[in-house]
Amino acid sequence: MEEKVSEAICNDLTNLYLMIEELNPASESSKEMIEETFKFWFTSNHHIRSPFPEYIHDKLKTEGTEKFWHWALNLKPEAEKELNEEIIAERLEEIIFETALKLVLTEDEKITIRYPFLPRIGDTINAKDTNEASNVVDRWIVKEGDNEYLKVTLSNNTTNEKWETKFELMPS
């Protein structure tokens, strides 16, 4: 599931980067590429919800753009020759997500940024065995051996009974 979502995001965003004539902060295509990337991640689109709280949008856009241009304008000539739309897209998104992690205030917001496609507090989940709806009331990261998991506490919408489940996290 997450792989299909990631592929869809890559396809959507790759189309944005095809507009780049040159990697230059003064070029209209570069400005548009950056603007469209932030617009994409700041709004919910179909099955993708924005992982970024609204209170960081302005600062994230400013700092993320500055860091991206710092990276792009300091590339060595041999690295610049290797650039393609996919590398540019991936690097811009890495910078946006890395910068956002430093701007948010809570551990839960960091979890949302690190794992934007996993359940969030307030989400409704249907139990496999009973198909009863429950709301996510808490979540946290745990390490068990070499593996990391997102543990989630849910509250059954009918009985208010609390229960837990976990999602294995893939190393990044």
- For residues 90 and 130, membership in a common domain is answered with no
Task: Tell me: do 19 and 98 sit in the same domain.
Answer: yes
- Residue finishing a domain among 67, 87, 114: 114
- Give the model confidence (pLDDT) of 139-161 as tens digits: 999 999 999 999 999 999 999 99
pLDDT digit string, tens, across residues 14-56: 544 444 446 778 778 888 889 999 999 999 877 889 999 999 9
Q: What is the CATH number of the domain that holds 144?
A: 2.30.30
Tokens 């060595």 belong to 76
Give the pLDDT of residue 44. 86
95 plus 129 within the same structural domain: no
Same domain, 54 and 10: yes
Domain that holds residue 46: 2-114
If asked whether residues 98 and 140 sit together in one domain, one would say no
Residue 119 lies in a domain: no
**Whole-angstrom distance, CA of residue 117 vs CA of residue 30:** 28
pLDDT value of position 13: 53
How many whole angstroms separate alpha carbon 16 and alpha carbon 35? 10
Helices (H), 18-106: 28-42, 57-73, 77-82, 85-103
pLDDT tens for 72-106 read 989 898 888 888 888 898 999 999 999 999 999 99
Does one domain contain both 30 and 86? yes
Residues 62 and 137 in one domain: no
Q: Does residue 136 share a domain with residue 106? A: no
pTM over 0.75: yes
Find out whether 95 and 64 touch, Cβ atoms under 8 Å.
yes
pLDDT for 48: 87
Q: Bridge partners of 140?
A: 151
* Shared domain check, 102 and 24: yes
Q: How confident is the model at residue 9 (pLDDT cuts 50, 70, 90)?
A: low
Per-residue pLDDT reduced to its tens digit, 114-143: 999 999 999 999 877 777 899 999 999 999
**Confidence (pLDDT) at 80:** 83
* 41 shares a domain with 20: yes
Alpha carbons 37 and 172: distance in angstroms, whole number:
21
- pLDDT classification of 172: cutoffs 50, 70, 90: low
Residues 103 and 157 in one domain: no
The token pair that represents 72 in the structure block:
């792009």
Whether residue 70 is contained in a domain is answered as yes
